[in-house]
Amino acid sequence: MISQELNDSLTRVGPGRDAGEVLRRYWQPAALLDELQGPRPVVPVRLLGEDLVLFRDTEGALGLIGRHCPHRGADMCFGRLEDNGLRCPFHGWHFNRAGQCVEQPGEPEGSRMHEQIQSTAYPVVENNGSIWAYMGPGEPPAFPALDCFRAPETHVFDFKGLWQCNWLQAMEVGIDPAHASFLHRFLQDEDPAEAYGKQFRDTAGDTEIPMPSCCVIFPAPRSQPRRCLMPQDHRSAASGRRPHPCAHHQSDLPRGDLHPDVARDDHHPVACADRR
């Protein structure tokens, strides 16, 4: 489904456009909410090749603007948080969270030159411990209503880290179950009650088995085929053929419950072999 959406987006932006332009049409994770805790909520952010600065103004609202002042390129990460915006540390040019310059102390009184000065700015939203930015054209799309974004804060946690690899490699390894028993196997178990939220340190599914032990007991993912009859598709209906059996693969390990707002589809085929 995601691949189809990306293909559709590439079609909309036209030929000769790269994937970066497509990704700009999606909400991008910018920072953790924890990074803005403290007396000075200003952090540098680098997204899709752009250097930006994220800040919370005196009204409590978030702003994401260009990291370098459009005047002399001063680093706005060292700017002063005041008057519902960020003031450049070099000449005092003041920018609001929309990137608009609202004051130039060095200009004559009554000057309206600041009205022509605009820094890069992107809309941002907070959600369950993280901050997201939209860097594409036009109005931002609705924020995705995924389970992790709708679940209560007690059921989610956010983390970040630097991975020296292509993002597609990181996504690929995330759906690779065979590596967990080796890369994420520990020498001893921890108390799961004290390890909540840590990857591969909690218990497995709805069992009492700590994940390190589970990785040892099940060094490779096991599946058990289950046969069922799926409704005829349009080709079967046109040809008068019977519905074909599908092989549904389910893990032998117990699965934890999904958030109650999300319906589980136990009959969705993972693999299908036409044996007609």
Tokens 């991008």: give the residue.
28
DSSP assigned state of 119:
-
The region of weakest confidence among 92-96, 97-101, 185-189 is: 185-189
Q: What is the mean pLDDT of residues 124-137?
A: 94
What is the reported pLDDT for 182?
77
pLDDT score recorded for residue 90: 95
pLDDT exceeds 80 at position 69: yes
Dihedral class, residue 98 (left if φ above 0, else alpha if ψ from -120 to 50, else beta): alpha
pTM of the model: 0.63
Q: How far, in Å, CA of 224 to CA of 29, rounded?
A: 37
Q: Tell whether the model's pLDDT for residue 218 goes beyond 70.
A: yes
What percent of the chain has a predicted confidence (pLDDT) above 90?
39
**What would the mean pLDDT of 22-45 be, rounded to a whole number?**
93
Which run of H or E residues covers position 234?
helix 234-239
Vertex 170 angle, CA 222 and 132, to 5°: 120
Q: Report d(CA 145, CA 151) in Å as an integer.
A: 10
Q: pLDDT confidence of 140, banded at 50, 70, 90?
A: very high
Residue 81 has pLDDT above 80, yes or no: yes
In the predicted model, what is the mean pLDDT of residues 272-276? Answer: 31
Token pair, residue 78, equals 């060292």
Count of residues for the chain?
276
- Residue pLDDT, tens place only, 249-262: 333 333 333 333 33
Q: Residue 26 to residues 17, 133, 138, 256: CA-CA distances in angstroms?
A: 15, 9, 12, 29
CA distance linking residue 19 with residue 9, whole number of Å:
9
Average pLDDT, integer, range 116-137: 95
Q: Is the pLDDT of residue 108 over 50?
A: yes
The residue among 213 and 121 whose pLDDT is bigger is 121
Residue tagged 């995330």 (tokens): 174
More confident residue, 118 or 175: 118
| Beta strand extents in 67-158 (DSSP E only) | 80-82, 85-87, 94-96, 101-103, 124-127, 130-133
